[in-house]
Structure 1
């Protein structure tokens, strides 16, 4: 488990560094040929983790339904993400790691509703979901690194 959390924390530090390198206007820009922006990707990795790890474990999430709907799989940016929303997402980058560590240590993850991702990964346990989440976040970091070339 230590390796899973270590990778996750490193990923999240890289996300923060990237997000802090751009203006709000740049974070919201959808380059030609892309369907989303840096802000959407940031929100997406947060709500995806909550869905993969918490919702599929039968537990409540720590993000609002509104946030989930805004950034869930298959959604696209529908407006401008505000600075307050960016600040909330940045705070969630690390607070959710701490909540997940705490919940794992306290034995809250006891069941898992098996799920096959759109890319064909079959997840049968919370640990598998946490591992897949790290893979998923790395993919989105790659998408963001591509987007930033065009903003």
Structure 2
């Protein structure tokens, strides 16, 4: 199971990285009409949620990321410094490297308590793949919407 999960994350992260490279910084903070947040929020949210799913005890991200990118947060509530897109992308790459180093047998371990209906680390990781794919779609829809509004 671990090898399959890692392959899925490889596919998703490769596509995410390629798409993020296409997004100019000047549109990353525009919140298109009909969306609850912006591209920068989605990138940070993917990073934070995946971190919480796969590395809940490690504390690899700044504590402020919970205030910025947790579910039900929004850019209009941000105060203070927000990480750059380049920083978030670098952290996604570092996270992916740590993800690849997870021993395959770890994905078979039971969680102390179910999370979103998932009972094993592997089930939660698969849900993480779905979650990243969903937000990649949101990012691309936002990009197209913002570009169309600026044309």
Question: CA-to-partner distance for each residue in 1:63-113, whole Å, 9 max, x for gaps?
Answer: 111113211111111359989621111111121122123243696x96623
1:14 corresponds to 2:49 = no
Higher relative contact order (CA 8 A, sep 6+): 2
1:60 corresponds to 2:61 = no
For structure 2, list consecutive stretches of 5 or more residues without a partner in the other structure: 147-151
TM-score (norm 1): 0.82
Contact 1:41–1:140 (CA under 8 A) maintained in structure 2: yes
- Counterpart in 2 of 1:144? 139
4+ aligned runs moved over 4 Å, structure 1: 79-84
Contact 1:31–1:147 (CA under 8 A) maintained in structure 2: yes
In structure 2, distance between residues paired with 1:123 and 1:68: 22
Matches within 5 A, 1:48-127: 48-55=49-56, 59-78=57-76, 79=78, 85-104=84-103, 112-117=111-116, 122-127=117-122
Q: Aligned pair count? A: 144
In structure 1, distance between residues paired with 2:128 and 2:4: 13
- Counterpart in 1 of 2:149? none
In structure 1, distance between residues paired with 2:20 and 2:91: 13
In structure 2, distance between residues paired with 1:115 and 1:28: 35
Following superposition, the deviation at residue 144 of structure 1 comes to: 1.4
